[in-house]
Structure 1
């Protein structure tokens, strides 16, 4: 069974278009599991009307107490999911008709016997509120090195997997479904699980219109050399920026510790060494720390991002 997890919250403005894109998928059979996080704008009425129209396809998960975040909403959905293949959907995007079928095909091709965690994720077309194109490739828009970015050392520092673009197999769901509080985002956590214990497949095609508007939880911002340099300088000119980086750095370490604890003795030896190497960085002197970060690949993609990272750690 193919299962789509759709998290909603006050999404009435764009949700009908997202629903139309799901209704228009060329995949012959799939189930949509929806959870609303306490909307007050008519979202729930839209969802109930969709369920009444498609009772065999759409199921609404009981809300219970709101989680207060998109990641928390997806965590609840993951705990209730059971599909052989699971895809993640945002309420304000638009899926191209082949989004489900191509993602599942990539998962099946890479999945082997189904016992190895597998993730596949597509590129996105960045669009504005009216779905007018801003950039044909989200990856180029943000200058993300997807190939190098899918190694475990890189993912411990920088997530390059966009949640709405990804699909996983049931083995990845079973291993990663209980997302710890230390995880920064559900998609990042699942990417770490699959990088450590399985496979991540970057799909070249852009299969989603990734809508940008004022209420995006996580949006797309074009990579800018000037902005990167300015950010780098302000870290040292403003003490609050330095403190913010240190908090984020500490959270990366907490996420890595949670990953090591979750995998335990099941963690492959190479992945265990890579996680331990990353967690050791704060324990050594600054020169050794930067040398190990470079040698071990514990840095983001892009020359300026790498320089900024090495200066700050």
Structure 2
């Protein structure tokens, strides 16, 4: 008879900035988990309120959870703030947390079981229930707001999250838990990338990821969110499509240049097939960034790329093809 698997040690990396309004509710939902986390790392980015005093007061009621606090002055910014917190985590698993959400009971137990059942999976993220500032449900989920398709979910479950991540990011940090071993490949985090998107694509490149389709947190949407999710109307989607393209396309090309460099540096840890797909994605983003200012002159290039399947493999298909023709430059 085999012995039962031991419970993994779980660290929580939580970043704050003027988060006093919701931090106590967030912390209680974390510290009341069964099993409880073994470590809580809080990295505060120059809060001007009493966020850290509230953190210490709540954490003092849970002495079995090791508390580490960083107070950053000047602020590091979102990505580097999370990297600092993550690097200080010592648990087998690391759960990311924002300062204003609520974890559902049993969340850590669910993720621990998922990792135990899938030893080759490096990162798992879940859906979330969207709520307003008072915690009232908004009537839809994060995956609904993002328009996540059944095909994307099926690809992730089948072990091909990398193809999904080459088209767009579906990993939201507040919904994410990953193995500490991933940090070896992801750090240092490039400043041009958001931390959760970077962790997701590196995990998909060096191992695999999975997606829990049930919501495991209440994801609060309010005016002070640094990174949130909004379900856009048709008019909102069209408005986003018509935003200036120059900065966006330059950023997409830069991010892919950084990713290809990292994957190549990781050597045998990343398959040649994935490196080649990333290189093809980089070429696609270079093409998009180099499109001429005159809209009518973009049409032949975009049409050829669409016919070759590049928009389907490396961006959001017809949506991005139309965007690339219609978007103003500035």
Alpha-carbon separation, structure 2, partners of 1:43 and 1:59 = 15
Alpha-carbon separation, structure 1, partners of 2:325 and 2:147 = 19
CA contact (8 A) 1:50 1:58 kept: no
Any stretches of 5+ residues in structure 1 without a counterpart? 236-240
**Residues 23-72 of structure 1, C-alpha deviations (whole Å, 9 max, x = no match):** 32122453211111221100111122233333330412333544442222
**Residues 270-303 of structure 1, C-alpha deviations (whole Å, 9 max, x = no match):** 11111111122226965554445537610137x5
Counterpart of 2:78 in structure 1 is 70
The TM-score with structure 2 as length reference comes to: 0.82
Counterpart of 1:16 in structure 2 is 24
Q: Compared with structure 1, are the counterparts of its residues 252 and 84 closer, same or farther at alpha carbon in structure 2 (3 Å cutoff)?
A: same
CA contact (8 A) 1:110 1:199 kept: no
Say yes or no: does 1:298 pair with 2:307: no
Counterpart of 1:238 in structure 2 is none
Alpha-carbon separation, structure 2, partners of 1:296 and 1:242 = 19
Match of 1:83 among 91, 98, 104: 91
Alpha-carbon separation, structure 1, partners of 2:10 and 2:279 = 36
Counterpart of 1:199 in structure 2 is 208
> C-alpha displacement at 1:249, in angstroms?
2.8
Match of 1:259 among 257, 262, 279: 262
Q: Compared with structure 1, are the counterparts of its residues 2 and 213 closer, same or farther at alpha carbon in structure 2 (3 Å cutoff)?
A: same
Match of 2:127 among 123, 127, 135: 123
CA contact (8 A) 1:123 1:205 kept: yes
Moved more, 279-288 or 156-165: 279-288
Any stretches of 5+ residues in structure 2 without a counterpart? 1-8, 291-300
Counterpart of 1:271 in structure 2 is 274
> C-alpha displacement at 1:78, in angstroms?
1.6
Q: How many residues align structurally?
A: 301
1:26-41 correspondence runs (5 A): 26-41=34-49
CA contact (8 A) 1:153 1:278 kept: no
Q: Supply the RMSD in Å over aligned alpha carbons.
A: 2.6
**Residues 150-197 of structure 1, C-alpha deviations (whole Å, 9 max, x = no match):** 632431342111101010012222221321234x11111111111112
Alpha-carbon separation, structure 1, partners of 2:324 and 2:312 = 14
Counterpart of 1:308 in structure 2 is 323
Say yes or no: does 1:138 pair with 2:142: yes
> C-alpha displacement at 1:127, in angstroms?
0.3
Match of 1:217 among 218, 226, 230: 226
